[in-house]
Structure 1
Amino acid sequence: MMKYRYAFVLVLGLAACTNPAKEAPVGTYYDLKSYIEQQISQLQKQQPTVEKQAGFGKEKDQQTTKEIDWSRELDLFLQADINKQAYQTSYQKNRPDSLTYEYTLKTTEKLPVQFLRIELDSATHQLRRVKATLRTKNSLYESERNVWLEAEKGNLKRYHIDGFQQLAWLDPKQFLIEGKIQ
């Protein structure tokens, strides 16, 4: 009896660890999430020097640092991932060439990622550039975030985030984050 109870608990435990409804089937969209998570892990281990510029409104700050929380720094790139089961039919797919993936939100859909473009390197076929536009709008709040990154040999070298945030009763506030990895 104890043997069967152990097997039952094991089966329940394994079932709880999988969530088949969360990710889209392989090949639906480019797997940006895996790439960004791999870069976050690698950058946290390496702690490279970064020339960083950040601004909110008219204030801007520039610094050179190794102290970056990469999970937080690259979070908008994770948010730009559209490889979710619920999004499977929400985007028009376009392949301008064999190295470029473009996804544009269908006009009938209301999702934050409006556009995503992935470019691969012609020699290595590794990710070379990502560009995305994310928008959020409701009766109290509106924001737009434009993000792009560039990689060399698959490794992140530059990233850029700009856009605005606006509460319904206030003027929009512009923001900017740029980083160049040494």
Structure 2
Amino acid sequence: MKFSYEIVIVLGLAACSNPTKEAPAGTYYDLKSYIEQQISQLQKQQPTVVKQSGFGNDKEQQTTKTIDWSRELDLFLQADINKQAYQSSYQKNRPDSLTYEYSLKPGENLPVKQLRVELDSATRQPRLVKATLRTRNSLYESERNVWLESDKGTIKHYHIEGFQQLAWLDAKRFLIDGEVTQFSEKTLIWKK
């Protein structure tokens, strides 16, 4: 009887605690783990990527195998909302069993405004990730729209675009678009 009484007290105290401080980890889709796994995999495989980048009116395209994937996919890590401080800041929507949608609640001021993750029905890995990140203060404003597509759990296309603006200057648009076209023969997963 004493054991059951202690459980009731513990459960009662847990129910009275502040949910924003003690919300369990894993409330939202774990995008960070997926992106970190992709970074590790892409660093090892060094696939060929057709990459287009631009800042302002300057644009260039190149085909390369030398990409710092940690830097290249950093904004996708920043789009992860599965953080203790964010646990009660987003509205959740599950239009179907394979889709996670999150939007920032009114009155909240966090950089990730929206996040959508669509899973592949066979692999249960993300096949599409889309996010909008926005930062605004008296000196600086930026918006970044990011998305990536995967095939069998491996990134095949990623896209980052947006603008950044200092208060006294015009907005500068930027773009990064990468298409993974070929993996090396040793670690062949797929070829376009």
**Partner secondary structure for residue 132 of structure 2:** strand
Q: What residue is the counterpart of 1:57 in the other structure?
A: 56
Cα deviations by residue, 1:100-147 (Å, 9 ceiling, x for unpaired):
000000011000000000000123222100000000000000000000
> Which residue pairs with 1:181 in the alignment?
180
SS in 1 for 2:77: helix
Q: Residue 90 of structure 1 aligns with which residue?
A: 89
> 2:11 maps to which residue?
none
TM-score (norm 1): 0.86
Q: Structure 2: where are the runs of 5+ without partners?
A: 1-20, 182-192
| 1:39 alignment partner, SS class | helix
Partner of 1:72: 71
Report the 3-state secondary structure (helix = DSSP H, G, I; strand = E; otherwise coil) of the residue aligned with 1:129. strand
Mean CA deviation greater in 49-58 or 118-127: 118-127
Which shifted more, 25-34 or 79-88?
Answer: 25-34
Q: How many residues align?
A: 162
Equivalent residue number for residue 16 of structure 1: none
- CA distance in structure 2 between the partners assigned to 1:23 and 1:37 by the alignment: 25
Which residue number corresponds to residue 43 of structure 1?
A: 42
For 1:157 and 1:50, locate their aligned partners in 2 and report how far apart those are by CA, in whole Å: 9
Aligned partner of 1:18 in structure 2 is none
Letter in 2 for 1:164: F
- Asked if the contact 2:25/2:84 (under 8 Å) is kept, the reply is no
Q: Which runs of no fewer than 5 residues in structure 1 stay unpaired?
A: 1-21
For residues 150 and 139 of structure 1, do their structure 2 counterparts lie closer, same or farther at Cα, with a shift above 3 Å needed? same
Deviation at 1:24, TM superposition (A): 6.4
Q: Is the 8 A contact 1:24 1:84 kept in 2?
A: no
Q: CA deviation at 1:23?
A: 10
Report the Cα offset of residue 25 of structure 1: 2.7
RMSD of the TM alignment (CA)? 1.6
SS in 2 for 1:78: helix
Distance 2:150 2:24 in 1: 26
**2:143 is the alignment partner of 1:141:** no
CA deviation after TM superposition for structure 1 residue 79, in Å: 0.2
State the partner residue of 1:155: 154
